[in-house]
Structure 1
Amino acid sequence: MSRRLRFVSLTPDQQRILNEAYQYGEKRALRRRAHAILLNHKGHTINQIRDIIGVRRDTVSTWLSQWEAEGIEGLQDKPREGRPHLLSESDLAVLEQLVEKYPHQLPVLHAKFQEQTGNVVSQDTLRRALKKRL
């Protein structure tokens, strides 16, 4: 099965923008994506770009589509939610009250916290929450 060749055509301004992103982009992912678009503009096929950059063919194709749809913004990483917090605001309020009663006693604080909230977390999680909060 032969695949249709796909190439982007860039204006001088677009080439300048992509060159800047490739050379000075803050994140490696943006630099790689910009490089892929520039290579495609210079006549490299998706398979050649895949081999040069070391990603899957579908990835290169997605980058080309994102560039065509959104320009440089399409090549930027999108914000992500991340893992939800293990401790709610009410859990943190309980933790602060317990710290006042049991300062410098993490094992006791840990046991009392789990007893009062029913939330089973590690001592390290409590330590990190306290460092962040206090």
Structure 2
Amino acid sequence: MPAPLKIRLTPQEDEQLLALKSDTNVPKRTRDRAEAITLNFRGWNVNQISSYIKYSPNTIRKIFYRWITRGIEGLYDAPRTGRKPRWSEEDVNYIESSLEKEPRTYNSYQLVEKLKKERSVSLSRERIRKILKKKIGDGKGLNIR
């Protein structure tokens, strides 16, 4: 059985973690990590925290290690890898408004050309379909084929 872990916090760190836990603009995983640190500081052991937060004991230990080695920055997720999307929410909103306002029906080829010509966004028709399906839903009530 691993040795019990005990986190020691300064009053300033305790206040920082309390503010972080209650900030709704911070991702839930980061708030959970802050809560795990404060619970350990208040005397909870790894298994109790694991049961309460619904993370595995190994994950709780990793949270503690990240706190010890990186401090408050260790509670945040690292940036994700991958290419940034070529389209933005404004592009999807533009498509939605075009489909709602204009009386005509568009197919995916026509939407590709419309985006390319009017917004300088180059996407494939398959990508347009996936975006619309994900963002707009099943397309009922919209003029798309």
Q: Deviations over 1:74-124 (max 9, x none)?
A: 0011110146879xxxxxxxxxxxxxxxxx6645898xxxxxxxxxx9733
**Could you say if the C-alpha distance between residues 105 and 42 of structure 1 is closer, same or farther in structure 2, counting changes exceeding 3 Å?**
closer
State the TM-score, normalizing by the size of structure 2.
0.59
**C-alpha RMSD of matched pairs (Å):** 2.8
Match of 2:18 in 1: 19
Q: Which consecutive segments of 4 or more residues in structure 1 shift more than 6 A?
A: 83-86
**Could you say if the C-alpha distance between residues 106 and 57 of structure 1 is closer, same or farther in structure 2, counting changes exceeding 3 Å?**
same
Q: 1 or 2, which has the higher helix percentage?
A: 1
Match of 1:77 in 2: 77
Q: Which runs of 5+ in 1 are unaligned?
A: 87-103, 111-120, 130-134
Match of 2:58 in 1: 58
Q: Distance in 1 between matches of 2:22 and 2:85?
A: 36
SS of 1:30 mapped into structure 2: helix
Report whether the alignment pairs 1:33 with 2:30. no
Match of 2:4 in 1: 5
> What count of residue pairs does the alignment treat as equivalent?
101
Match of 2:67 in 1: 67
SS of 1:47 mapped into structure 2: helix
Over the matched positions of the two proteins, sequence identity in percent amounts to 31
**Could you say if the C-alpha distance between residues 109 and 48 of structure 1 is closer, same or farther in structure 2, counting changes exceeding 3 Å?**
closer
Q: Distance in 1 between matches of 2:2 and 2:108?
A: 62
Could you tell me which amino acid in structure 2 is paired with residue 14 of structure 1?
E
**Could you say if the C-alpha distance between residues 122 and 53 of structure 1 is closer, same or farther in structure 2, counting changes exceeding 3 Å?**
same
Q: Distance in 1 between matches of 2:67 and 2:5?
A: 13
Bigger Rg over Cα: 1
Q: Distance in 2 between matches of 1:75 and 1:20?
A: 13
